[in-house]
Amino acid sequence: MNECLKHIEKCKARCCGIVPFCKKDYERLKKRRQRRVLFRMSISENLMIPITYPTAILLVLKGRFFKLYLDLVRCCFLTKGNKCAIYEERPKVCRLYGEIKEMPCVFLKNKKKRKKKGGKRT
């Protein structure tokens, strides 16, 4: 079983919010959307963000992004059961979440036990 799926009941897939997509990938996968996309925000020639909640961008611009992100803004490919409808084809940013130190997941634990100085486990 995928390590992430073990924690879905607790975390409610909070990491699945504003996700940048390659425009070609989004067009190819858009029939599998689970949520209505209000508009697509272009962030570069090749990247876009599908916006599923009307005040998301206004709050991001005002710096009040995080609470809204956790509570309301969801990836358009996230099912009602908090599962990814495009899991095998999800963007690289989704694959890296929880795997690299710059994007930690508080619900995933490092399998390797680290030792403090003096031999005590943390």
Each residue's pLDDT tens digit, 53-102: 765 555 555 555 554 444 567 899 999 888 899 999 999 888 888 888 88
Mean residue pLDDT of the chain comes to 77
For the chain, the domains span 4-96
Backbone torsions φ then ψ of 121, nearest 5 degrees: -80, 145
- Residue 39 forms beta bridges with which residues? 51
Q: Cα separation of 94 and 100, whole Å?
A: 11
Report the pLDDT value the prediction gives residue 60, as an integer from 0 to 100.
58
Higher pLDDT, 112 or 10: 10
Q: Cα separation of 90 and 86, whole Å?
A: 5
Q: Are 16 and 84 in contact (CB under 8 A)?
A: yes
Give the start-end residues of each E strand in 1-122.
21-22, 39-42, 47-51
